[in-house]
Structure 1
Amino acid sequence: MCEKILLIDGHSILNRAFYGLPDLTNSEGLHTGAVYGFLNILFKVLGEEKPEYLAVAFDRSEPTFRHAKYPEYKGTRKPMPQELKEQIPLLKEMLEKMEIATVSLAGFEADDILGTLAKKGEEKGMDVIILSGDRDLLQLATKKTMIRLPRTAKGQTVIEDYKEDQVQERYLVTPAQVIELKALMGDAADNIPGIPGVGEKTATRLLAEYGSIENAFSHVEEISQKRARESLRENYQMAQLSKELATICTNSPIEFEQEKFQLGNIFTKEAYELCRKLDFRNFLMKFDPAEVNENTIEQDFFICNDLEGCEALFEKAGQAEAVGIALLWDKEGVYGAGLALGEDEMYYVPVEGMVTAAYLSDKIGRLGKSTTVCSMDVKTMLKRADLTPDANVFDCGIAAYLLNPLKSTYTYEELAKDYLDGKLLPGKEELLGKISLKKAWEEDMPELEHLACYMAYTAFATRAPLKAKLQETGMWKVYTEIELPLVFTLDSMEKWGIEVKGEELKNYGEKLTVRIHELEKLIWQQAGEEFNINSPKQLGVILFEKMAIPGGKKTKTGYSTSADILEKLASENLIINDILEYRQLTKLKSTYADGLGAVIEKDGRIHSTFNQTITATGRISSTEPNLQNIPVRMELGRLIRKVFVPEAGFVFLDADYSQIELRVLAHMSGDEKLIKAYREAEDIHRLTASQVFHIPLEEVTPLQRRNAKAVNFGIVYGISSFGLSQDLSITRKEAAAYIQKYFETYPSIKGFLDGLVEQGKEKGYVSTMFGRRRPVPELKSSNFMQRSFGERVAMNSPIQGTAADIIKIAMNRVYKRLLDEKLRSRLVLQVHDELLIETWKDEIPQVSRILEEEMKGAANLAVELEVDMHQGNNWYEAK
């Protein structure tokens, strides 16, 4: 068999990847999507072709015309997007790290280099594969040279293969005639003018009959098609220039450096590190761990799998100041633990024999009483470890979240890279791939030992730098006094869960189904035909074409039927009101009536997960299922709260902060008028309306109060005049006047909000009253929309974040009081500014007092925190 060389058109494949894939950025904000796509295609073709030699050709610089020898030809290419231009040196760096040869030559484009190398490769008896997105290269196809052209089909990359026979079969011309074909047709992308009036069919027919442009011109009077005949006669010189421009040079002065092109091991340690830096996690499994990991900590990994050894190990751990712990478990069981006694002593303790899950739980619980237990995720560990709320713990994930709340994940390998001098550790996917913990444990895979030890090591080693950074940024108190205690509060809430009446949930779903069918028939009746109401395309045609409802906005894919568009048209069109209700009810049915029924556990309760490290402002979020998003706007939505009930002998007490964010705004801005209004227990929205519209308090209409309320809450969220105009269905000018009058009424607020934006620009972050930071990188964006978003974030985050801090403090205090006073009542749910307590009936007065005292006392503001409290036999009644 002949040796094989793969030649790649660097710019072409990178360009194709850029436009064919979503833009990606790594954790440092580098654009990486095109490089990722290039490597995907590279690995695919290498796997298929298995060449002995490889070279990637690049244009010397971004070209402005086709050939340097035709400077008089003024054709220009569309400028390369900056996001793509930035990735060219990144790709070249990656190829260098992979020890893949790159070739470029001043005055010649990549396809000239490819043409020359292909010709020389053939002369050496090699099979040549050219990978490019440019069909121009089909002119290079021979019996020995194959052109491979990637394209996208149904969201997948497929590659078309062409040798000379396939070119003739597909295009009805020889590879050499591809040049003639392009010269006649022209190519705007490559600035080849062609000749007017000649398309692909005409050009193909001319070449089939005459063979070449020159021969066609010599028989021009015989050409039957008048337009083609006259165009060729008048534009023959342009056709010749086009032919020159379309011809790839196959004798450029480039050396065929066979030794340089030799393909070796491309999965080098340097390439691995760059893949880690660029967050190309899918590629990391391709690297041999033994080749790329020089992590000397692996020599300090040990296995302890006998009871006597474990007893000695945990006794030694109990005498240390701090230890790193990683518990390996999933829903099917506990498989072992990682234990780091220092940065050079890590143990893996598998569940085996007398070392049971219960044994590990007990030992970890005991450690929490004598030493500091460091973990990547304490709350997750609490599901299987017997740690009590008074345990000494350090949660590395939460510490990292506080320091950078904009990240989406806080894995041990990311923390090692960020806080251990860029140390690169293999992640869970690199170690186990898609193999489950259970299977890895059953097969006694050594990678499980490594996973446990890496996690324990990182938890131990990052504690000191994380603590130092929290102290340096002034967030140590936020961490120790708010976030860390909250771990135990949320763990308790998750374990208790909340009871759901399955039968009532089913009945509720049936009621929704009846109303959904009613609405469906009503909508069809008004439309005059049946159609798929859930199809935006069909709905758009019905509303804006058949029914000719004004106000439709057409996009590339049809009319927009988004909620904001339809809500603006609802007041004048009954069908749109019905459609909006239909959508709300179908969402209610799928998400709640059906969705909640699927997650009721054996104890009859739903156990949601409360997340501390998701939102950038510090708010808690709820998932699996999301109990914080139960609808409240429509009565049928609110009714679903009836299915949430307390255990027999208990009732629900629901306590809700009243206007907490406005009260925080009053305090943080120091606005005397707003503070005075709250201290005098005024209706804040009525008072705002009175002052903004300059009318007596008693003359304020409900509409004016509603508008003032929208302004009050809108200011908290940094609302623009456009946003307010949309909310109130008024003109932008009227909205701007409202906002201006508001700031005139409360003058200190404008200065406060502007000051937050300036702080964000100067420092790169804004802070809550308690010192929690929220980075605002958008303020430095060159994009106006991004900067505007950043300004709203800068205004809102300190207010919303402070409110989130206050509710967290209140939750921790309420939870601790319930424990300290040994009550049967328990905190089961938090929804933004609301706490729900499942209260033992005999403890109602005591729990009411606890809620009142701890929620009001959670922060010392210039205005008093107010709490609305209600009692009920289900969540609906209590709310």
Structure 2
Amino acid sequence: MKNKLVLIDGNSIAYRAFFALPLLNNDKGVYTNAVLGFTTMLLKIIENESPTHMLVAFDAGKTTFRHNTYTEYKGGRQKTPSELSEQFPVIREVLDAFKIKRYEIKNYEADDIIGTVSQVASKEDWDVKIFSGDKDLLQLVSDQVHVALTRKGITDIDTYDPAFLNEKYGLTPDQIIDMKALMGDNSDNIPGVPGVGEKTALKLLKQFGTVEAVYESLDDVSGKKLKEKLEENHDKAMMSKELVTIYKETPLDLEIKDLAYSGYNVEPVSAIFKELGFKQLLTRIGGESNEVEEIDELKFDTLEEIEEHHLVSPSALIVEVMEENYHNAEIQGFSLVNEKGNFYIPTELAMSSESFKTFLEDSSKKKWVFDAKRAVVALGWKGIALKGITFDLVIASYLLNPSESTHDLSAISRREGFSIVSSDEAVYGKGAKRKLPEELELSDHLVRKSYAVYQLKETLEEQLRNNKQFELFQDLEMPLTLVLGEMETKGVSVDTRYLEKMGEELNKKLSTIEARIFELAEAEFNINSPKQLGEVLFDKLQLPVVKKTKTGYSTSADVLEKLESKHEVIPEILLYRQLGKLNSTYIEGLLKVIYSDTGKIHTRFNQALTQTGRLSSTDPNLQNIPIRLEEGRRIRRAFIPSSEKWVMFAADYSQIELRVLAHIAQDENLSEAFQNGEDIHTKTGMNVFGVSKGDVTSDMRRHAKAVNFGIVYGISDYGLSQSIGISRKEAGEFIDRYLESFPGVKRYMEDVVTQAKEDGFVSTLLQRRRYLPEINSRNFNQRSFAERTAMNTPIQGTAADIIKLAMVQMDTRLKEDNLKTRMLLQVHDELIFEAPEEEIETLKRIVPEVMEAAIKLDVPLKVDYEYGSTWYDAK
């Protein structure tokens, strides 16, 4: 069989992949879009080309031998985005996992390596295929060497052989060098002959053949101006030809036989795909099947009658709801697995059986479930109060694997080394094709789910105990999931008419702003079209161009904010966008999710999502209602009590993360400020600027506030400079002075990173973990991100744990005191209740009491509260 060599221009393909895909990062915060695009193309090449030999060539550095000829070579290039540069080491790791040879050599470019190797291979009568996005490589085309050039992104490819090259340009491969010499190359800062583009270069070469022949026959060149340009730039043209010529004698310390490729092993490739979060690619290579025990057949009984001996304790219970949104949804079926056997219970039988309902509501009958909140809410809508849940597989998996993005039963069981259950997607289908299967398939699927829960319970509990996380699981997250289930079922009442009226007002305001924009721009156009907006701002109004994209001018928010002082139309456009988003996302969006039968919004709280332990919410996301604009704050007026003569009561922690930092860091100055009830931002301003309390200006306090909260989130000098509008140097000095003023904080930041490098994770006060595999990475960017995460996760995570504790304890207290008050929402550090007016005095006493005592810190927790007829008035 004839040898086939595939050569890949690593830098070119990575660059193309980076700009072809949106900026992506995995759950560890590592950017992956270039890696994903590169790897996808790599797999396609392996599958389609079946190479016997492979090599990926990279540029070794910024300077090459060509700089000796022309110091400005590649001088006009913009600096590679850090988001791309930090992905090159990861791409190299992917190639190593694939066992594909990679190579770079000082003073030479990837093109030179490819040119040298392709020449050697073609002399030995091998077939060679080169993949790149650089037209310079077309000079290597021959009968044996074909060049695959990306046209758009990384999927649209033209493959050049001599015939196609001639058809496309009317040139031979050698003439590609001459074409580039004449027209130059802006991307490499190759001058060529100014004023000569591709069209003129092709015309000259078709007439004369080479650059040298053009100059030998200069009198025959038509056009006085062109002749003058050529004459004046002879030296540039000849130098350009030298620069664009690929060097085919590169001194390589490898031989062509070293490039042999016999394929990849699935195991190491799967490992890196899992680390990067490439789920689709993992499935594509069959990587999920490794070291997993498959259980093909599982016997079970489909019950026609429910008897007492079926309902023993403990039982693994599945309450199946196919829809993602389980509120008021149909239940597809039930399954039980216990010491008596494996049972499928059809929905009709289950819902009509008094003994089964009694079992579900019996708190003494222990149930082990998958996603307790989902089951509680689904049954709650049917009037059944599910009790007795002592184990939730989702919560256990989340605590043990917080960086995993998937906690479905199939993924959890495979992570634990055996396969008993297929994914829901495999059984029900996806998107428009999603449907309920035949009962035999459905019953088998549900019983397998219960069986998986039954088998995995002890294993995961043991892991939690080994991690010292069982108390976190049992005393916080398990009770919390039931509290959240109750909150979701209760929902929060909404004044529909108020929202509709606000929408009408916003539409009128948007029309007024639109007219103002047209007047200021002296043109009518689609404001929501980036293309049309860009043409008006940068072509018509001649505003300075801040950033360009592949499709034209960038009109993103950050670009417009930089232009805000340049023209009075810009603030109007920014306001138009803000109000437009408010209207579409929050006014119209909220109206769509009000349940007609309750008149309420029933948001879903995500308990097993964020790595810090923070709760989030969906359908709708009530944590993201923008409150910077008054119009945004007014949306909260739509949230009202569900009964007459009731009020909304809101309580939130004051500066909880800074108080947690004071406790964890054991910083005397920070702790003293909180213990004395001082304004922490004024105190920071005094320490950092070396002034007395009365001399702290509003600007000083604003800067101090930014660094106080910035430290919690691992802010950099660049980040601080952007947030408060000072130079990077000033921001760096400001952070240094802060750390000098609070030495305990500085010591904590150093110590927590050192400990994380030893342990591979950081923990909150309640032992919630966040794993940081990149903390010891050789890659600076990955390591820096992990170090910042190590500093801020214990603070943010502990703050999240505290408000969760407060929710569990508040729920208990409300029930113990037989209060009618209901806890409705949790938003960041705030709890929102609805309560009868007569219970307000009690709430003013017990809510701060419970929330401030949720956990014992060395500094006091402080809770502020407000109440009123709407959520807005409770702020």
When normalised by structure 1's length, the TM-score is 0.74
Q: Deviation digits for residues 406-447 of structure 1, max 9, x if unmatched? A: 3333333443444x2587986444565537796242485x4x
The structure 2 residue matched to 1:9, chosen from 6, 11, 17, is 6
3-state SS of 1:876 partner: coil
- Matched with 1:811 is 807
Give 1:394 deviation, angstroms.
Answer: 2.2
Q: Cα–Cα, structure 1 residues 356 and 422, in superposed 2: closer, same or farther, change >3 Å? A: closer
* CA contact 1:340–1:460 (8 Å) conserved in 2: yes
Deviates more, 1:391-400 or 1:477-486: 391-400
Evaluate the alpha carbon distance shift between residue 254 and residue 348 of structure 1 in structure 2; reply closer, same or farther with a 3 A threshold. farther
Question: How many Å apart are 1:671 and its aligned residue?
Answer: 4.0
Q: Distance in 2 between matches of 1:741 and 1:146?
A: 62
Q: What are the Cα deviations for residues 699-719 of structure 1, in whole angstroms up to 9, with x where unaligned?
A: 766555555544544444444
The partner residue of 1:169 within 161, 167, 172 is: 167
Map of 2:635 onto structure 1: 640
The 3-state SS of whatever aligns with 1:511 is helix
State yes or no: 1:327 paired with 2:328.
Answer: no
Change (3 A) 1:241 1:169: same
**For each residue in 1:176-224, what CA deviation from the matched residue of structure 2 results, as whole angstroms up to 9, or x when unmatched?**
998998999999999x999999997688668867899999999999999
The residue aligned with 1:770 is: 766
Separation in 2, partners of 1:621, 1:357: 36
Q: Deviations over 1:93-118 (max 9, x none)?
A: 6699xxxxxxxxx999775688589x
Q: 1:270 to 1:83 in 2, by over 3 A?
A: closer
Judged with a 3 Å threshold, the aligned counterparts in structure 2 of structure 1 residues 612 and 601 are, in CA distance, closer, same or farther, namely same
CA distance in 2, matches of 1:694, 1:752: 23
Q: Could you tell me which residue of structure 2 aligns to residue 667 of structure 1?
A: 663
Name the CA distance, whole Å, in 2 between partners of 1:755 and 1:878.
41
Give 1:854-869 correspondences, 5 Å limit.
854-869=850-865
2:372 corresponding residue in structure 1: 378
Residues 770 and 88 (structure 1), Cα distance of their counterparts in 2 relative to 1, 3 Å cut: closer
Q: Distance in 2 between matches of 1:536 and 1:596?
A: 27
Is contact 2:612-2:796 (8 Å) kept? yes
1:698-713 counterparts in 2 under 5 A? 705-713=701-709
Residue 829 of structure 1 corresponds to 825
In structure 2, relative to structure 1, the CA distance for the partners of 1:527 and 1:740 (3 Å cut) is: same
Quick one: distance in 1 between partners of 2:9 and 2:167? 25
Deviation at 1:369, TM superposition (A): 3.8
Partner of 1:476: 470
* Residue of structure 1 in register with 2:298 after alignment: 301
Q: How does 1:841-860 map to 2 (within 5 A)?
A: 841-860=837-856
Counterpart of 2:589 in structure 1: which amino acid? Answer: G
Structure 1 contact 17–33 (Cα < 8 Å) conserved: no
- CA distance in 2 between counterparts of 1:268 and 1:415 reads 21
Q: Which residue of 2 aligns with 1:99?
A: none
Q: Tell me which residue corresponds to 1:125.
A: none
Rate the CA distance shift 1:304–1:719 in 2: closer, same or farther, 3 A.
same
Secondary structure of 1:480's aligned partner: helix
Structure 2 match to 1:501: 495
In structure 2, distance between residues paired with 1:870 and 1:663: 21
Which amino acid is the alignment partner of residue 20 of structure 1? A
SS in 2 for 1:399: helix
- Describe the SS at the equivalent of 2:316: strand
More off after superposition, 455-464 vs 601-610: 455-464
Q: Which residue of 2 aligns with 1:70?
A: none
Residues of 2 paired with 1:834 and 1:238: CA distance? Answer: 65
Q: Aligned-residue CA RMSD in angstroms?
A: 5.9
**1:157 and 2:155 matched:** yes
Match of 2:613 among 606, 613, 618: 618
Distance in 1, Cα, partners of 2:375 & 2:472: 22
Q: Is the 8 A contact 1:809 1:858 kept in 2?
A: yes
Q: Give a deviation string over 1:27-85, Cα, whole Å, max 9, x none.
A: 899998778657756887999xxx9x9445314987999xxxxxxx99x9999989557
Residue 373 of structure 1 deviates from its aligned partner by: 0.1
Q: Report the Cα distance in structure 2 between the residues aligned to 1:565 and 1:236, rounded to whole angstroms.
A: 44
Distance 1:216 1:694 in 2: 73
After superposition, give the CA deviation of every residue in 1:129-184 in whole Å (9 maximum; x if it has no partner): 99887886898788xx996946344x682344677765543333578998998999
Question: SS at 1:301's partner residue?
Answer: coil
Output the CA distance in 2 between the equivalents of 1:452 and 1:722.
52
1:395 maps to 392
- Cα gap change, 1:370 to 1:518, in 2 (>3 Å): same
SS at match of 1:595: helix
Alpha-carbon deviation of 1:758? 3.9
Distance in 1, matches of 2:204 and 2:725, equals: 63
Label 1:113 to 1:513 Cα distance change in 2 as closer, same or farther (>3 A): same
2: CA distance, partners of 1:635 / 1:818: 33
1:148–1:162 CA contact under 8 A, matched in 2? yes
Partner residue, 1:463: 457
Name the CA distance, whole Å, in 2 between partners of 1:11 and 1:875: 59
1:223-279 deviation digits (Å, cap 9, x = unpaired): 9989999999999999999999789xxxxx999xxxx9999xx99999999977875
Q: Cα distance 1:454–1:704, how it changes in 2: closer, same or farther (>3 A)? A: same
Q: Evaluate the alpha carbon distance shift between residue 576 and residue 360 of structure 1 in structure 2; reply closer, same or farther with a 3 A threshold.
A: farther
| Secondary structure class of the residue paired with 2:155 | strand
For 2:649, the aligned partner's letter is L
Measured against aligned partners, the alpha-carbon deviations of 1:611-631 in whole angstroms (never above 9, x if no partner) come to: 123332222112221111223
Q: Return closer, same or farther for 1:443/1:152 CA change in 2, 3 Å cut-off.
A: farther
Of 866, 870, 873, the residue aligned with 1:874 is: 870
CA distance in 2, matches of 1:643, 1:823: 25
Q: Which one is further off, 722-731 or 500-509?
A: 722-731
- 1:555 corresponds to 2:547: yes
> 5 Å matches for 1:705-854?
705-720=701-716, 723-729=719-725, 746-776=742-772, 779-781=775-777, 789-854=785-850
**Cα distance in 2, alignment partners of residues 873 and 233 from structure 1:** 81
Greater CA radius of gyration, 1 or 2?
Answer: 1
> Deviations along 1:816-851, whole A, 9 cap, x unmatched?
223344443211111112111111344334444432
Query: 1:654 touches 1:835 (CA, 8 Å); kept in 2?
Result: yes
> 1:493 touches 1:828 (CA, 8 Å); kept in 2?
yes
Larger CA deviation: 737-746 vs 626-635: 737-746
Q: Does 1:411 align with 2:408?
A: yes
Secondary structure class of the residue paired with 1:667: helix
Specify the alignment match of 2:593 in structure 1: 599
Equivalent position of 1:587 in the other structure: 581
Distance 1:89 1:849, change over 3 A: closer
Structure 2 counterparts to residues 26-41 of structure 1, below 5 A: none
Matched, 1:654 2:650: yes
Q: Determine if the alignment matches structure 1 residue 58 to structure 2 residue 54.
A: yes
Partner of 1:515: 509
Maintained 8 Å contact 1:223/1:229:
no
